[in-house]
Amino acid sequence: MTGGRRGEAAGGASSTLTVANPASRSFKAWKVWSALQAFGMDAFGAEIDHVLDLVQRMADPIEPAPDLELMGHVSLTAVCFRIGGATEAAHRAVRAALSDEGTALLGPARLGPPRPEGL
């Protein structure tokens, strides 16, 4: 069928396969909307500020530490760093130890070569 009418408009029966029902789609903003209704904008703002403070609190001691290397600018909730001279296995062991003791939950990251200045 090329560019013609479909379903009842074309003289045939209506098909649920050719008619999109907006009610069948998920309302992706529902969780955010309902949380905003329950807690309010101020609570959301305070929580975001708290998380950003925690991220900076994590990054601050990494920068001056001689055995740690901050791998990029701290933005939002990502703090990328590595242990200078450590192997991949050593990094895995540190991540596991920090997670087991409840200090931090760190995930692995693979970084490519640094970008040239200005990009």
CA quadruple 16, 18, 20, 26: dihedral positive or negative? positive
The predicted-structure confidence for 65-101, as pLDDT tens digits, reads as follows 999 988 888 878 888 888 988 888 898 899 899 889 9
Domains annotated on the chain, with CATH? 30-109 (3.90.1150.10)
Model pLDDT, residue 117: 64
- CA distances (Å), 104 to each of 26, 69, 70, 90, 101, in order? 34, 17, 16, 16, 8
What gap in Å lies between CA 99 and CA 103, rounded to an integer?
6
Decide which of 53 and 3 is more confident.
Answer: 53
pLDDT, average across residues 6-15: 55
Predicted TM-score (pTM) of this structure: 0.56
